[in-house]
Amino acid sequence: MDSKLLIQAIIKFLMGLILVGLLLFIPGTFNYTNAWLFMGLLFIPMFFVGLILYFKNPDLLKSRLDVREKESEQKEVLLYSSLMFISGFVVAGLNYRYSLIILPRSIVIIASIIFIVSYILYGEVLRENSFLSRTIGVRNNQKVIDTGLYGIVRHPMYMITIILFLMIPLILGSIISFFIFLMYPFIIIKRIKNEEIILEKELKGYSEYENKVKYRLIPYIW
């Protein structure tokens, strides 16, 4: 097995865990139970998904760990996403500390269930498409995937991440953060438009796939 990849994955995992914890608990408090719930829902499945990829598909794990964008537009998307997460988490922590607007427990529970189901679908998309990467580009021997969720929309991963990310502020109990996270669908739309230009040029059969599967994110809408 690739020990270098394993170390890289562990470091990235721990960095993400620490960063999210700092953003939530420093503005808030360590008694912020919604934050502990969210971190469990996020990082426990992430750990097992990473473990499965390490043994079953290390190439996909390697590509998922690489966040270095080459396209200038995608660098902007990464910047906007980072600002959204930082401000959303900090505001959620402050919202809890000062008891500004706390959402009912029922909403938190429903959002947690939707988050778990979405994470399962996230795993299914990873299973369907071994060419998925965090950065925009076409890999060697990459082919168009048009089965499963890819037969419904062209970007099921983005569709799922939108649902996941919109559930985060609800799990954290902060409606104020929810409005911050509403930036994400617009960020993803910008990413998709640039990504499809590249795929049309560099990925054989993608234009035909666009004619076959008409919708990018939401069936019958867009």
Which residue is it, tokens 């360590």? Answer: 30
pTM of the model: 0.88
Distance CA 45, CA 104 (A): 25
Count the neighbouring beta carbons within 10 Å of the beta carbon of residue 11. 11
| The pLDDT value given to residue 134 | 64
Average pLDDT over residues 186-205: 87
Q: Is the dihedral of CA 130, 132, 135, 140 positive or negative?
A: positive
- State how far the Cα of 86 lies from the Cα of 159, in Å rounded to an integer: 21
pLDDT bracket for residue 137 (50, 70, 90): low
Q: In this model, does residue 141 exceed pLDDT 80? A: no
Q: How far apart are CA 126 and CA 214, in angstroms?
A: 22
Mean pLDDT, the chain, whole residue set = 89
DSSP state of 141: T
CA atoms within 13 A on the CB side of 159: 17
pLDDT surpasses 80 at 136: no
pLDDT at residue 70 in the model: 66
Q: In the block, which residue shows the tokens 């420093």?
A: 26
What percent of the chain is modeled with pLDDT above 70?
93
98/120 Cα distance (integer angstroms): 34
Going along the chain from its start, the domains and CATH numbers come out as 3-212 (1.20.120.1630)
Q: At 174, phi and psi to the nearest 5?
A: -125, 105
Q: Quick one: average pLDDT of 12-36? A: 94
CA 184/CA 94 separation, integer angstroms: 21
Q: Does residue 148 have a pLDDT over 90?
A: no
For 43-91, write each residue's pLDDT tens digit.
Answer: 999 999 888 888 888 888 887 777 666 666 777 888 889 999 999 999 9
pLDDT confidence of residue 124? 86
Assign 135 a pLDDT band (cuts: 50, 70, 90): low
Q: What per-residue confidence (pLDDT) applies to 1?
A: 65
Q: Which residue has the higher pLDDT, 30 or 195?
A: 30
Q: How far apart are CA 30 and CA 18, in angstroms?
A: 13
- Please state, in angstroms and rounded to a whole number, the distance separating the CA atoms of residues 50 and 57: 10
pLDDT tens across 99-122, in order?
Answer: 889 899 999 999 999 999 999 998
pLDDT band at 24 (very low <50, low <70, confident <90, very high): very high
174 DSSP β-pair partners: 102
Determine the Cα–Cα distance for residues 163 and 3; give it in Å rounded to an integer.
34
